[in-house]
Structure 1
Amino acid sequence: MLHHYSDVLGYLDLHNAAPADLVLQECELMVGCLSCSQESPLQNLSYGQSKEFNCEQCHSKLSILAESTRFQYIPPRANKTGQSSYPAVQKGKPLPEKGACKHYKHSHRWLRFPCCGRMYPCDVCHDEDQDHPMELATRMICGYCAKEQPYANGKPCISCGNMMTRGTRTSHWEGGLGCRNKAKMSRNDRHKYANTNKTVSRKAAIQKK
């Protein structure tokens, strides 16, 4: 039960299984009004989007916002036997393969797609598992710390600071905005060998000293 003093939605008792994700869009929630205690059903809730509605009984304005969810492992009691599996997504710990997949090996994040509310490493992984048209992701999960956050391409994680994708700089000069290290410059870039064969007069060399 969620309220101002508790962020625990529920408990799962699993055996030889591990939770991976909570798809809010497929959940049926009951929201209780703090003014009159009237409970109302709520569906189609999405991460990062605030949903507002009025209480059916007292007409008070209600709002609910879910930024993210996480699974926390609770060790079993000593008298129980059997192996327990840690959840696939744990806050502060890397995602499986640090978020990379066979399609994008240098992408360290998972994307949450608004069309189904599920998270996948990339759009190809989504299309391989789903049979509906893909909508562009609006949120992402860091592959290094599992922090869910709004989608931002080419920017570091807001929690751990790691880059989830390759940087935007290339091996070309690009007017000084790209690579400036001649050792790493592309050999097709004319700035790589600029001034390498330039001769300096003896007078200029003496003045430079």
Structure 2
Amino acid sequence: MIDFFSSPSNREMVLEQLGQHIYLSLLPLLLGVLAALPLGRLAQQVRWLRGLLQGGANIFYTIPSLALFVIIPGLLGTPLLSSINVIIALTLYTAALLVRPVRDALDAVPAHIVTAATAMGYRSGRRFLAVELPLAVPVLAAAVRVASVSNISLVSVGALVGIGGLGRLFTAGFQLDYPEQIIVGIVLTVLLALVVDLLLVALWRLLTPWARAGVSGA
């Protein structure tokens, strides 16, 4: 693996693919979270929609990613090799994965806190953003971490349809019979998943200082 990185062209290629991989995995994560929040809120508030939204999300998540990467260009008219196909697909996967955790996280907010916020004059939207969502973060955090790892792994599949990312190292390595390149791709994908997970943990700690205070007080 050291020999692989001794080549300037290899280092440049790896950095380029790593940058694309980060972009293609984290942008859909952000968009998926933003999409899942209102859907999860809707599932929590409207009881009869719970089963419909959750069932639809579960069914959608069973669609193979490779098939979705091919279907989306046909539906939207985007070029087959466009990265927008991966972004859309992974955004939908992320939203589907997070609908139920968002609902469960909001359900876990103590009812007396919601009642107290309402009594203080918080309307539904403001109460959601200022009270319920912050308190739901600890429960929601675990699901977002799972979604981040899922996205990072699924981006690699995009290499099979010509989309950039660390998966390109796998496909090119197999085509060239170059095991070192394959190993580099695998190691970097795992390291990226670990780094992103650690960053998310740090972010949750930053967003929930009261949780740390509670642990310290205990």
TM-score scaled by structure 1?
0.22
Higher relative contact order (CA 8 A, sep 6+): 2
Q: Which has the larger radius of gyration?
A: 1
Of Structure 1 and Structure 2, the greater strand share is in 1
TM-score normalised by length of structure 2: 0.21
Larger helix share, 1 or 2: 2
